A = this chain, B = another copy of it.
């Protein structure tokens, strides 16, 4: 076995992981930004409920979340069957389901830092924007959102990392199907569950670590550039 080049199965798991985590982030991030903004800036009835709901996937063991997803989004589940009959969209046992599971699981991790960032943005700047004629939506997009970017980036990193590593809810919801739902994390789990899987597990760990490293370094560079843009330090 070549130690340096990826085996087809590993390559498949890697690409699938990136696809799943990417898709999860793509859908979860905007939604998380909205929810975080709502939680940060508005007091509405059900505020506490929404907040608690967002955190649930973190508190409950992933198996439970996966099970709930299966019941709700499975073929015969109320949401799943509705989506399938109306949009032809099915989450059952395919990579979109894996992305859904990853998105749900990483949601609280994204919401929290984003919410903190929104809370830290000085509303006086929004006032100033409004006094210059900006509609609330415009001032959100031009002032609040850019100023909260470090937090959004931070949330995205946590979310992406979590989505990459998500295991429990994914295997429960969409099973462990090679090429379809077997991400690196699932492949790694599979390897650890076989008495002879040590080397495979080690290789997969290296791959996951490597990808995570790359993503984190990219995010750090981005964050530094962002901070410079915001803080304006020329040092």
Contacts and interface: CB of A to CB of B under 8 A. Distances in A.
Nearest to A184: B61
Given A161-B58, A161-B108, A162-B58, A116 B64 contact: no
Q: Is the interface of A mostly helix, strand, loop or mixed?
A: helix
Contact of A112 (B47, B52, B56, B158): B158
A203 interface: no
A58 B57 CA distance: 14
Nearest to A205: B64
A106 to B, nearest CB: 9
B113 A59 contact: no
Contacts of A98: none
A109 to B, nearest CB: 6
Tell me which of A55, A120, A189, A212 has the highest count of chain B C-beta atoms within 10 A of its own C-beta: A55
Interface in A169-220: 185-186, 188-189, 192, 201, 205, 208-209, 211-213, 216-217, 220
A62 to B, nearest CB: 6
Nearest to A192: B63
17 contacts: A47-B220, A59-B164, A59-B211, A60-B165, A60-B188, A60-B209, A61-B185, A62-B168, A108-B158, A109-B109, A112-B113, A112-B154, A112-B155, A112-B158, A113-B113, A113-B154, A119-B150
Interface of A: 47-48, 51-52, 55-64, 67, 108-109, 112-113, 115-117, 119-120, 150-151, 154-155, 157-158, 161-162, 164-165, 167-168, 185-186, 188-189, 192, 201, 205, 208-209, 211-213, 216-217, 220, 227
